[in-house]
């Protein structure tokens, strides 16, 4: 380990500089990145000494003031979140920094309502945090005109207001987004009725958006295209082995991007050849682990190195070695498509491909529903349209055509 950092840290944080340096290198930071972080720590230490700020009673407002002073001085490197994760977390564990808890903020009626709505969606509806955030966003936009700074008046809410809002949404956004807003507003109105905020349940008054989900065909890859996509991963490199494992999980087991991102070492049962999928609505499903997928995962996990203490299967290459968000997995898949020479491609296309491969091997729609973990068979029904061999048996002969 490189012991010398050559960064002059003065002030109250000086005695912790060497320990922080070793911590950064131990977590996979390169020496240059570690020195950059230590330079910001040095700036923070000098700023605190100059402005008589105590790290034993440090507040979030103090940190914000420090970043404002850096921006005014022309510094632009390292945004707040990166610095918090890299330096302030370890310094807090070393007892170099002790945070003062922020005073509780008094919420107005509008904010309190959506705080309760957020908890309801998470705990009672068991929706994912990302979905809850979207539902709350639509709900706040919908009820914006019914509150002022002091109160929320839902007595003025009429069916015409609901219709007008949905019509406005349908003109502004795509069919998919407009349908999402319909679902979100129905959920909100039902919640308001359950909580006694409204005397009638107006959720049934929300108009539906015209759009037929069964009108098109799912976009899939054929066997040659899947092979081309997988071969574009350089399995002699760490990144290539990681990307190969991600693609196999999606094309063989139909995992969504979020399910790949949430996959943990604890979810893989090597002894019994099974894998636990943490899917939508906090569902946990157990699926068989195909040998080729297991082999790809094993090869990837042997490359983890400094990220071994992290339980997430797929980690970022650069420090801090933590797991990907959903967007990170989507970026990886899009890059794989481009590398293979495709003009475009996405994660859900690979999920559709997994379904069609099951049908081409002689599987049934029930098999597809089980692997993709669909709650309703109506969701699986669209794949009947791509089962061309089965459809040939029900096609009527064209009058006058060849026998």
Per residue in 377-391, pLDDT tens?
777 777 666 655 554
- In this structure, the number of other CB atoms found within 10 A of the CB of residue 125 comes to 13
Helix spans in 73-203 (H)? 80-83, 89-93, 109-123, 129-143, 159-172, 175-194
**Residue 54 pLDDT:** 92
CB 262 within 8 A of CB 285: no
* Poorest-pLDDT segment among 136-140, 173-177, 267-271: 173-177
**Residue 188 pLDDT:** 95
Residue whose entry in the numeric block shows the structure tokens 């015209």? 210
Burial 195-221, CB ≥16 within 10 A → b, else e: eeebeeebbebbeebeeeeeeeeeebb
Average pLDDT of span 393-403 = 57
Higher local confidence (pLDDT), 347 or 104: 347
- In this structure, the number of other CB atoms found within 10 A of the CB of residue 178 comes to 19
What one-character DSSP code corresponds to residue 269? E
3-state helix, strand, coil in the chain (%, to 5): 60, 5, 35
Q: How many residues does the chain have?
A: 403
Percent of the chain past pLDDT 70, that is, above it, reads 87
Residue whose entry in the numeric block shows the structure tokens 């002059």? 8
Q: How confident is the model at residue 169 (pLDDT cuts 50, 70, 90)?
A: confident
Per CATH, the architecture of 223-392 is what?
Answer: Orthogonal Bundle (1.10)
Percent of the chain past pLDDT 90, that is, above it, reads 42
CA 329 to chain centroid, in Å, comes to 9
CA dihedral sign of residues 366, 374, 223, 391: positive
DSSP 341-374: T-S---HHHHHHHHHHHHHHTT--HHHHHHHHT-
CA–CA gap between residue 193 and residue 154 (Å, rounded): 11
- Lookup: tokens for 146: 């019914």
**Residue 135 pLDDT:** 94
**Residue 338 pLDDT:** 95
Residue range 109-205 in CATH 3.40.50: no
**Residue 1 pLDDT:** 45
CB 136 within 8 A of CB 114: yes
Domain range summary for the chain, segments of one domain joined by +: 14-93, 109-205, 223-392
* Poorest-pLDDT segment among 329-333, 341-345, 385-389: 385-389
- Lookup: tokens for 114: 């959506």
Mean pLDDT of all residues belonging to the chain: 85
Average pLDDT of span 13-38 = 89
Candidates 19, 15, 49; CA nearest to 34 is 19
pTM of the predicted structure, to 2 decimals:
0.69
Q: How confident is the model at residue 394 (pLDDT cuts 50, 70, 90)?
A: very low
Active-site positions? 256, 280, 348, 351, 374, 383
- Lookup: tokens for 165: 């809002």
Residue whose entry in the numeric block shows the structure tokens 């089980």? 370
CA–CA gap between residue 16 and residue 23 (Å, rounded): 11
């Amino acid at each position: 380990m490189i012991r010398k950092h050559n960064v002059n840290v003065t002030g109250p944080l000086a005695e912790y500089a060497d320990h922080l340096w070793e911590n950064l290198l131990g977590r996979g930071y390169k020496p240059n990145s570690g020195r950059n972080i230590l330079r910001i720590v040095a700036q923070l230490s000098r700023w605190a000494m100059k402005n008589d700020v105590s790290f034993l009673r440090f507040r979030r407002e103090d940190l914000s003031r420090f970043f404002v002073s850096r921006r005014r001085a022309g510094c632009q490197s390292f945004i707040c979140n990166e610095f918090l994760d890299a330096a302030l977390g370890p310094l807090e564990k070393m007892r170099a920094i002790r945070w003062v808890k922020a005073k509780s903020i008094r919420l107005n009626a509008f904010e309190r309502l959506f705080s309760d709505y957020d908890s309801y969606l998470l705990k009672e509806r068991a929706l994912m945090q990302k979905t809850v955030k979207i539902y709350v966003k639509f709900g706040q936009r919908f009820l914006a005109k019914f509150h002022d700074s002091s109160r929320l008046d839902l007595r003025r809410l009429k069916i015409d207001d609901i219709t007008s809002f949905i019509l406005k949404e349908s003109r502004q956004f795509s069919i998919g987004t407009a349908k999402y807003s319909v679902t979100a507003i129905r959920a909100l109105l039902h919640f308001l009725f359950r909580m006694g905020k409204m005397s009638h349940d107006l959720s049934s008054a929300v108009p539906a958006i015209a759009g037929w989900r069964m009108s098109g065909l799912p976009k899939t890859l054929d066997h040659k295209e899947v092979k081309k996509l997988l071969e574009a991963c350089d399995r002699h490199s760490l990144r290539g082995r990681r990307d190969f494992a991600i693609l196999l999980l999606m094309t063989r087991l139909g995992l969504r991007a979020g399910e790949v991102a949430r996959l943990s070492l604890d979810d893989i049962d090597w002894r019994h050849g099974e894998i636990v999928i943490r899917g939508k609505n906090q569902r946990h499903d157990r699926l068989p682990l195909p040998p080729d997928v297991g082999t790809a995962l094993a090869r990837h996990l042997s490359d983890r190195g400094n990220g071994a203490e992290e339980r997430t299967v797929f980690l970022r290459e650069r420090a801090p070695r933590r797991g990907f968000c959903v967007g990170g997995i989507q970026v990886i898949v899009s890059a794989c498509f481009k590398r293979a020479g495709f003009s475009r491609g996405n994660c859900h296309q690979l999920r559709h491909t997994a379904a069609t491969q099951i049908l081409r091997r002689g599987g049934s729609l029930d098999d597809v529903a089980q692997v993709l973990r669909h709650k309703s068979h109506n969701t699986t029904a669209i794949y009947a349209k791509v089962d061309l061999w089965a459809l040939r048996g029900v096609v009527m002969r064209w009058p006058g055509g060849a026998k």
